[in-house]
A = this chain, B = another copy of it.
């Protein structure tokens, strides 16, 4: 722990971190904020991602191993007052640990190296909580990568990072990919591209999911536009057995991704 406690919310160091709550500054500075012990722990597992760490005295005593790991990696650790942490945090109850990280997304080509068998693509998804929850579900289901298309939410949005529960650091994430470009490359790589949409002719139980598959998930409110549906190899819906009109985007995505994971492992 170098230096004394940061108590001034207007200090240059705090202001430099604070501006990363805004997308434009994240893009300009090529950095973002990861908050809470889980996210910070996962960030530290990646080489050269964590730029600096802010920790309250309480968090430091509660998570000594995280702070020790940062120190071991020569990551500057700043002791921060509760007030400074509240200034930096985007949650109602700050957890006392916050890392400034380098952006971790990769180019589309890099995300598709090897033999990807399961890819989740988010097209026009605007809700950061939904996007992060899909990332977490994709990670859990063993997906090889997550692709956010150009009209989608910023994966570095605080809510998205939080909802991803560390998964943003676990698997290759692509951001800003044009839909047609991504679909074309997925097909070139031998993946079958399935659009998940309530208008699908086939249900999840009717299609053979044993081969390499990329799922496209759309915006919760308006689903997937016609031009994206037209590019998919097939449009598949999650069957609705009760009276619900639809599923929440993240739950529908989890059901689709796990159906793929199961089918691929059963073969």
Contact = CB atoms under 8 A, between A and B. Distances in A.
A165 B258 CA distance: 23
A31 to B, nearest CB: 23
Interface stretch (A22-30, A133-141, A178-186): A133-141
Given A248-B133, A251-B133, A140 B170 contact: no
Interface stretch (A87-95, A147-155, A225-233, A239-247): A239-247
Contacts of A239: 261
A56 interface: no
Give the copy number.
2
Contacts of A241: 140-142, 261, 265
Nearest to A252: B254
Given A136-B248, A140-B246, 19 more contacts: A133-B251, A136-B251, A137-B251, A138-B242, A140-B238, A140-B241, A140-B242, A140-B244, A140-B247, A165-B244, A165-B246, A167-B243, A170-B244, A171-B242, A247-B254, A254-B255, A255-B255, A255-B258, A258-B259
Interface of A: 38, 133, 136-143, 163, 165-167, 170-171, 205, 238-248, 250-255, 258-259, 261-262, 265-266
